[in-house]
Chains A and B, each alone.
Chain A
């Protein structure tokens, strides 16, 4: 028996097919991972069974839940389905909870609605659910408002709310985005027990590691269509579709080895290729690939009998030589609050001490809230701190006025969200002009500088005239890097620079970072993704609750 089945599902929104001819099955107790890059149609596919797509979306094909076509259900039956038959959780847990209601109230809603428990039993059930999700203090969590608990706790509570109505199927759209890998795996492990008692799970994710570790079946989407659908173990051992191979190759896996980006970019949904959608980027393309979409054979939508194995990663590159000491951080601490009329004092960073050499990239790893970003901000002098920070032999605290500003310009930041750090009303050229204007450089020298910086950041010069919103996430992040480079820095502080990027864009960026290291730049790389960090950094500081616990080598263990 199948729990959920989609048959030839096509969803059209504003004249564009977000998913097309999608076939999908989830059996009781099974975990199907729907993977793909952003824009592949994963979220559309996940929302369709709940009939929660935008009102202007047009569906064709069939969606069966427990062998009933959900589109034939009455209003009341649909409401019973949502939360009762199918539990769902979507990406951002902070946004998925109503900010003005307590967590417990929001988890109790589906219990009351779908299981009709009396209030006392309902309260007990809320606490039990929170406890099964591995939350240690369920009473406190239930009494809290969403903003009062940590990201990991919120994510677990959201999962509890999706399971509260006692569903047979769970749809989880990026349930662990923004969490550190340990927490993410722990949350999925929590679901294993429920799967044994028959819960089917549709997991939507772009995190291949998570899918590999927990899924029974994997289905890969590309530009709205399924390219490969196979048993998870066999898929990860030997992906067969050229796109699936390229996707796996673009995921960081071996320390020190750069993942290979997929050439080209994903097609614009407004002008999809007539044949195989991956054909324009495919190394093994044949003329026939451009004319008709290939039929699905043995779980692979590719006309090639045996697709050539895509090189799993770029050839290994040796690490650049370390130069002399560039940055020395000695006993740096940061405390927030405590000033007149502000919140009470809270120590975010204790006594951080380390050195960084020219040409070296040092990872800063640790769970959320461990003080990684605070350390980066202290080095950037964006927060008040104690202790000494010595850059190029100068104690920065001893400098004043223009000398201090000049010294601080040698340290440049790149932040997590490139859309937030670039003014959306600027063109690329205007965004890049900012550091040059601040440096009072004559205008005649600007074009040469911006061209050079764009090239170093791995972008073509033709992007200069493009408005910032027209760029992809990966391109925006490179513009942010190019802008940082224009200030002629010795040190870049990158705070989660790839967490908003697709695997392929991330692979591009990692390559750029290695190029910059070879040119003698030093980099502080703040991340919670150890695998990605290990491809650009040989060593990392591990932080826990505001302290540097160790400086560890990343190429072993």
Chain B
């Protein structure tokens, strides 16, 4: 329990540092919000007026002080581009991203477990080597290539699924089925490009467990192949899988930028990409913060699950 409290407070500190870093990096981007908003109409006078309006006229360290004070009061500021509070804009995008990531990783696990177990069982024989090669191929393929290929096949050629967006815009209230249809391709893309490392970890842990003395001992006690696989190998394969999932989930903001952009899916990755182009400092920093918090929670949950899966984790 005490360990949990320490982890959470250390995590809070890490997030504060992360927010500061994000703030400074956003401000270090060349150009500036005023220039991004005014575009070709930018003159020094107009830029100065807009800077005054946006609160960018004071030195950076003062901006940081103000921003930090607001942040600690739960105020993320106002988007420069949309002139709306960040707190009003983000939730819809965050929910979309969370849904996409969860669906994608669920798909990744559904692929990684059978793949990894089969690979681990036959690691030193031909089937294992073939499975390993397939995993390596998917590992090496960038997300946007997989995404584009899926769009070409399932939207372009077969015309089964929509190619972009999160809902059919012709309807005022999208149906659940419609949302699901829009989710399918981007989620499949995430599943396909993230299952490979997971499968390799599962394969490694399975192979290791199968070669271990305790599996030999279990076989000496009469355990059959099914009992060996499901009672002894699988629990050992789950632990690295859970840890890796926590780490993968941490990449849900950065990892989904390409996929959300390819599919025009309105999630945080897509929003971040736009905010960076528009030098929308408050939005950039808020998204980085959300990413940090999600990372913290995901790894914490993963570690708790690992401790539950392996009684030795709490030991030493």
Interfacial residues, chain A to chain B (CB-CB below 8 A): 50, 52, 79-84, 87-92, 95-101, 106, 109-110, 113-114, 145, 147-148, 158, 161-162, 164-165, 341
Query: Chain A residue with minimal CB distance to B6?
Result: A341
B218 at the interface (CB under 8 A from A): yes
Smallest CB separation, B59 vs chain A (Å): 40
Residues on the B chain within 8 Å of A84, using CB: 222
* A97-B214, A100-B309 as given contacts; A341 in contact with B222, CB under 8 Å: no
* A52-B220, A165-B221 as given contacts; A95 in contact with B3, CB under 8 Å: no
Q: A88 CA to B216 CA in the complex, in Å?
A: 10
Smallest CB separation, A45 vs chain B (Å): 15
A-B contact pairs, 20 of them (CB 8 A): A50-B220, A82-B219, A82-B221, A84-B222, A87-B221, A88-B220, A95-B212, A95-B213, A98-B214, A99-B310, A100-B235, A100-B236, A100-B312, A101-B231, A101-B232, A106-B221, A109-B227, A145-B311, A148-B315, A162-B221
Cβ < 8 Å to A, chain B residues 269-316: 309-312, 315
Q: A88 CA to B223 CA in the complex, in Å?
A: 13
Smallest CB separation, A167 vs chain B (Å): 10
Query: Are B222 and A96 neighbours in the complex by a CB distance under 8 Å?
Result: no
Smallest CB separation, A336 vs chain B (Å): 11
Q: A182 CA to B9 CA in the complex, in Å?
A: 50
Smallest CB separation, B241 vs chain A (Å): 14
Query: Are B311 and A96 neighbours in the complex by a CB distance under 8 Å?
Result: no
Query: Are A113 and B223 neighbours in the complex by a CB distance under 8 Å?
Result: yes
* A95-B212, A100-B310 as given contacts; A110 in contact with B221, CB under 8 Å: yes
Smallest CB separation, A43 vs chain B (Å): 11
Query: Are B213 and A96 neighbours in the complex by a CB distance under 8 Å?
Result: yes
CB contact between B312 and one of A50, A95, A110, A145 (< 8 Å): that residue: A145
* A96-B214, A101-B231, A341-B6 as given contacts; A164 in contact with B311, CB under 8 Å: no
Residues on the B chain within 8 Å of A101, using CB: 231-232, 235
Number of residues on chain B facing chain A (CB within 8 A): 26
Interfacial residues, chain B to chain A (CB-CB below 8 A): 2-3, 6, 212-224, 227, 231-232, 235-236, 309-312, 315
Query: Are A82 and B6 neighbours in the complex by a CB distance under 8 Å?
Result: no
Smallest CB separation, B121 vs chain A (Å): 13
CB contact between B217 and one of A81, A97, A113, A165 (< 8 Å): that residue: A97
Smallest CB separation, A416 vs chain B (Å): 19
Residues on the A chain within 8 Å of B311, using CB: 99-100, 145, 147-148
Query: Are A110 and B214 neighbours in the complex by a CB distance under 8 Å?
Result: no
Smallest CB separation, A408 vs chain B (Å): 27
* A99-B312, A100-B311 as given contacts; A82 in contact with B222, CB under 8 Å: yes
* A99-B311, A100-B236, A147-B312 as given contacts; A164 in contact with B212, CB under 8 Å: no
Smallest CB separation, A169 vs chain B (Å): 12
CB contact between A90 and one of B3, B220, B309, B310 (< 8 Å): that residue: B220
CB contact between B224 and one of A79, A96, A98, A164 (< 8 Å): that residue: A79
Query: Chain A residue with minimal CB distance to B211?
Result: A54
Query: Are B223 and A98 neighbours in the complex by a CB distance under 8 Å?
Result: no
Query: Chain B residue with minimal CB distance to A50?
Result: B220
Q: A50 CA to B212 CA in the complex, in Å?
A: 17
Smallest CB separation, A209 vs chain B (Å): 25
Smallest CB separation, B313 vs chain A (Å): 10
Query: Are B216 and A52 neighbours in the complex by a CB distance under 8 Å?
Result: yes
Query: Are A113 and B222 neighbours in the complex by a CB distance under 8 Å?
Result: yes
Query: Chain B residue with minimal CB distance to A99?
Result: B312
Residues on the A chain within 8 Å of B309, using CB: 100
CB contact between A96 and one of B217, B235, B315 (< 8 Å): that residue: B217
* A99-B311, A145-B311 as given contacts; A165 in contact with B222, CB under 8 Å: yes
Smallest CB separation, A73 vs chain B (Å): 13
CB contact between A80 and one of B6, B222, B232, B310 (< 8 Å): that residue: B222
Query: Chain B residue with minimal CB distance to A81?
Result: B222
Q: A82 CA to B156 CA in the complex, in Å?
A: 58
Instruction: Enumerate the 3 nearest inter-chain pairs by beta-carbon distance, A residue then B residue, closest first.
Output: A83-B222, A83-B221, A96-B217
Query: Are B220 and A109 neighbours in the complex by a CB distance under 8 Å?
Result: no
Task: Name 11 extra pairs, CB < 8 A, besides A95-B214, A96-B217, A99-B311.
Answer: A52-B216, A82-B222, A83-B220, A83-B221, A99-B310, A100-B235, A100-B309, A100-B310, A100-B312, A114-B222, A341-B3
Smallest CB separation, B179 vs chain A (Å): 39
* A147-B315, A341-B6 as given contacts; A90 in contact with B217, CB under 8 Å: yes
Smallest CB separation, B202 vs chain A (Å): 15
Query: Are A52 and B223 neighbours in the complex by a CB distance under 8 Å?
Result: no
